[in-house]
A and B are shown apart, each in its own frame.
Chain A
Amino acid sequence: MRLRPTLYAATGLLLFLAFWEAAPRLGLVQSSLLPPPSELPKAFLREFRSGLWAKYVALSLNHYVLGFIVGAGLGTLLGVFSGMSLKLEWSLAWVVRMLRPIPNLAWAPFAIIWFGVDQANAIFIISIGVFWIAFFAAHGAIRSVDRDLVEVADAFGFRSAPERLVKVLLPAATPGILIGLRTALGQAWMAVVAAELSGVSGLGSRMMQASSLLATDIVVVYMLTMAALYGIMDAGFMFAQERLLKWKP
């Protein structure tokens, strides 16, 4: 019975690949516009043997990891504090409303002026994308901690803000914070491509390069590379989350 969802998922994927393979072969689209999946291993090997694949993946992973850590770290930190302090929440309300709707790519001109065409440029843009997700998740998670549990901390003498944070707020808010971080984990990959379009070397810049040469097979190779990297990270994240949330029924 447990096999059934997997069976359907595999069938769905196979049908998708079959349709993809058939479309250019039957002449529905030109194969230069949509390379069939059977041509991809060849393209991947070419890209891999030249050493470009490893180079760009390493560069992008670096942007991704640092951007995620900076953005998620700062976002969670500020979210936790503003969740704990009503005065901070009020103070930030309009600032958040002003900055929140700005797409992270709109910061690209500033990123170039401030950091040049450099790693820091991409890290900055990625971290902005991640920041808001982490901020709102952490803020909401802290705000919705059961007041009764906070009262238990009070009753047993943990009344200072740091004591409350460590003894009750943070452990109680962990599930909510993690949901935000998981969303951010996916969002950060989208930000990687966007950030690297401005010229910082990485998967994004390589894809732009390839597409300007109409090497669509290379573009697709990197699309699938990203999907695979995201899949691995998400699985790793779920594994860590399960360990952290062992106490959940």
Chain B
Amino acid sequence: MEAVSLNPTPIIQIKGLGLAFEQDGRRTEVLRGLDLDIAAGEFVAIVGASGVGKSTLLRVLMGLATPTSGTVATAPDPQAERPMAMVFQDARLLPWRRVLANVMFGLEKTALPKEARIARAQEALKLVGLAELAGRWPHQLSGGQRQRVALARALAVRPAILLMDEPFSALDVVTREALQDELVRIRAETGRTILFVTHDIDEAVYMADRVVALGGRPGVMRSARAIDVARPRRRGSIALSEIAQDVRLDITAEHRDPDFSI
């Protein structure tokens, strides 16, 4: 459990990360001075209100947005084939590809022969429990199934870090909780490093090894709490609820935000 903090070389090192963009001559700062190290195999959840820069952070890591300041250093992971892969909030499957072909999408960037890509995609589908739906079209799937396919698509490319941007927030409670347990299981099976963004504090505390709270505008880090609760965890247990309450206070603690001081 404590391997997290003992690991000397983090797989990803974020230093002083900030991002601002200019629109109609007005400068909007989204993120400011974020420092975060993530160890190999660690499950880190990032929580905060909408507009606090959670998704922006993932977009920067994925190379979809350029930071205005700070650095992101990634250590090469010999077990991974790509540095990162992303699961989006709204699955974003390609509607003209069947489920299997959707999972193969990222593999088409690799030199793998077709048979190997198919095998890899089937393996990823099996991991998310959808092997028998390989021939379906995306529009034939439920919201939860779609999100599982998106997860398989990201896992198939064997990323060093799996980035997840509120992947379960659009799902109903039952499906969401099932997928949370599924993700915890997959993580235990594959040992992937996961950076999971959510606005649901209970979800973060239930799944993650560490919960990073962002708050304010621009978003700054309010706290990073290790969740030292043994697994399997019980949803809504007193230990988890107390941590969740602390995180809630971290997020709303205005005195820590220099922008709020008058």
Contact = CB atoms under 8 A, between A and B. Distances in A.
Nearest to B107: A156
The 8 lowest CB-CB distance pairs between A and B, nearest first, are A156-B106, A249-B139, A157-B109, A247-B96, A171-B96, A155-B86, A152-B92, A247-B137
B109 A149 contact: no
A183 to B, nearest CB: 22
A35 to B, nearest CB: 50
Interface of B: 62-64, 82, 85-86, 88, 90, 92, 94-98, 105-106, 108-109, 137-139, 157
A166 to B, nearest CB: 10
A152 B95 contact: no
A39 interface: no
19 contacts: A149-B94, A151-B88, A151-B92, A152-B94, A152-B105, A154-B64, A155-B85, A156-B105, A167-B105, A167-B108, A168-B94, A171-B94, A171-B96, A172-B94, A172-B95, A247-B137, A247-B138, A247-B139, A248-B95
Contacts of A158: 109
Contacts of A167: 105, 108
Contacts, number: 49
Given A156-B85, A156-B157, A157-B82, A174 B62 contact: no
Contacts of A247: 95-98, 137-139
Contact of A151 (B64, B85, B105): B64
Interface of A: 148-149, 151-152, 154-158, 167-168, 171-172, 174, 246-249
A172 B108 CA distance: 18
Nearest to A174: B96
Contacts of B90: 148
A152 B88 CA distance: 9
Contacts of B86: 155
Contacts of B62: 155
Given A149-B92, A151-B64, A247-B138, 13 more contacts: A148-B90, A152-B92, A152-B94, A152-B105, A154-B63, A155-B64, A156-B106, A157-B106, A167-B105, A171-B94, A172-B95, A174-B96, A247-B137
A158 B90 CA distance: 20
Contacts of A156: 85, 105-106, 109, 157
Contacts of B139: 247-249
Nearest to A244: B96
Contacts of A152: 88, 92, 94, 105
Nearest to B137: A247
A167 B95 CA distance: 12
Contacts of B92: 148-149, 151-152
Contacts of A154: 63-64
A72 to B, nearest CB: 21
Contacts of B64: 151, 154-155
A174 to B, nearest CB: 7
A163 to B, nearest CB: 8
B105 A148 contact: no
Nearest to B95: A247
Nearest to B139: A249
Contacts of B157: 156
Contacts of A248: 95, 139
